[in-house]
Amino acid sequence: MSLKATEVVIKIDDGYDRQTDGKAREYIGASGVGHPCDAYQAYSLRGFPNTEPDARLKRIFRLGHILEDEVVKDLKEKADVRVWEVDGLTGRQHTYEEWEGHVVCHMDGHIELDDGILRVLEIKSMNDASFKKFKKDGVKYSHPRYFAQLMMMMGMSKIHSSFFIAVCKNNSEYHAEIVDYDEFEFSHLKERVQRVLDGDARKISVDSSDWRCRGCFKAGACWEGAEVGKRCQTCQFVRPKPDGGWFCNHHDREASGLCSDYTLYEPLPKGVM
């Protein structure tokens, strides 16, 4: 007997629910550095698991990646500008690191317009409301997290100009903006990152009812007691080393394996000393 139409949709969603995103990142990424909560950065740095998105959100992410590839094609073939979406030396995405991999940025590419200036390329897909806000206000005010990502990528790469282009998922309209490097903005972001690296991150709220927490991918680890793998990185006593790896303050030595003193890392809530 053939499946009913609704059953087919349910099966698709079930398939997405069974599909996991794999191992969580273990670094502070440029794409998340504009997140308003320092604890989010700390959980990312230490490799705490993400809260698994639902099937619809997974499809949104997949579509975003597909659209990025199409935008690159249009830039190259229709606009006739030079784009390097991968590093010619490695054949992989352009990547820049600090603290020996504890802070990382991945770029959509490098781009050169007809003015001959090499720029960071960043591509986003947006729904209609988000796209209209970007057109009206510019990325700095419409999407502060994207702006922070641009500043972080420019500061880390020393490429002090960027080309930010968005495609509207509702009607395929394009809008683009050239964003130049701002030393003050980058310094502010670096201060936040350093606070996290130093172990001084704080949660943005006192409980999970805050609207900024409800949609956070680290909410499970932060508020809901999600299962966390016991590793040195997830222990309260370790700190990242500037030259890579981790150092255990409790035993005053390089973190080299679990011990009986393991204590799960947890940033303090906002306002708690």
**Span 172-204, pLDDT tens digits:** 999 999 999 999 999 999 999 999 999 999 999
d(CA 32, CA 46): 14
Looking at the domain assignment, is residue 259 inside a domain? Answer: no
DSSP secondary structure letters along 94-129: -EEEEGGGTEEEE-SEEEE-TT--EEEEEEEEE-HH
Within a domain: residue 10? no
Read off the DSSP letter of residue 23. S
pLDDT for 214 equals 85
Question: What would the two tokens of residue 66 be?
Answer: 């597909």
Determine the Cα–Cα distance for residues 226 and 228; give it in Å rounded to an integer.
6
Domain presence at residue 260: no
What type of residue sits at position 159? I
Taking residues 63-88, report their average pLDDT.
96
Look at residue 22 and tell me if it is in a domain.
Answer: yes
Tokens of 84: 């390097």
**Structural domain of 106:** 15-254
In angstroms, the CA 143 to CA 17 distance is 29
Interatomic CA distance for residues 72 and 213, integer angstroms: 34
How many domains does the chain divide into?
1
Q: Kindly tell me if the per-residue pLDDT of 1 is higher than 50.
A: no
Q: In sequence order, what are the beta bridge partners of 185?
A: none
For the chain, give percent helix, strand, coil, nearest 5: 40, 20, 40
If we measure between CA atoms, which residue out of 241, 4, 260, 114 comes closest to residue 250? 260
Mean pLDDT score of the chain: 92
Q: How confident is the model at residue 273 (pLDDT cuts 50, 70, 90)?
A: low
Is pLDDT at 3 greater than 70 in this prediction? no
Look at 18-22, 112-116, 130-134, 141-145 and tell me which has the smallest mean pLDDT. Answer: 18-22
pLDDT digits (tens, 9 = 90+) for 89-123: 899 999 999 999 999 999 999 999 999 999 999 99
Closest CA relative to residue 118, chosen from 183, 163, 80: 163
- The encoded tokens of residue 122 equal 């960043």
pLDDT in tens, 20-62: 766 788 999 999 999 999 999 999 999 999 988 888 888 998 9
In-domain check, residue 132: yes
Residue 261 lies in a domain: no
CATH code where residue 87 lies: 3.90.320.10
Q: Is the pLDDT of residue 271 over 80?
A: no
* Other CB atoms within 10 A of residue 271 CB: 9
pLDDT for the residue 272? 61
Q: Which amino acid is at 13?
A: D
Q: Report whether pLDDT(216) > 50.
A: yes
Does residue 29 lie in a domain region? yes
Q: 215 pLDDT band (50/70/90 cuts)?
A: confident
Classify residue 127 as exposed, middle or buried by CB count within 10 Å of its CB (0-12, 13-18, 19+): exposed
Pick from 156, 272, 258: nearest CA to 207: 272
Record the pTM.
Answer: 0.91
In this predicted structure, the answer to whether residue 17 has a pLDDT above a threshold of 60 is yes
Mean pLDDT of 149-173: 97
What share of the chain in percent tops pLDDT 90? 76
Q: Tell whether 93 is covered by a domain.
A: yes
Strands 246-248 and 253-254: antiparallel
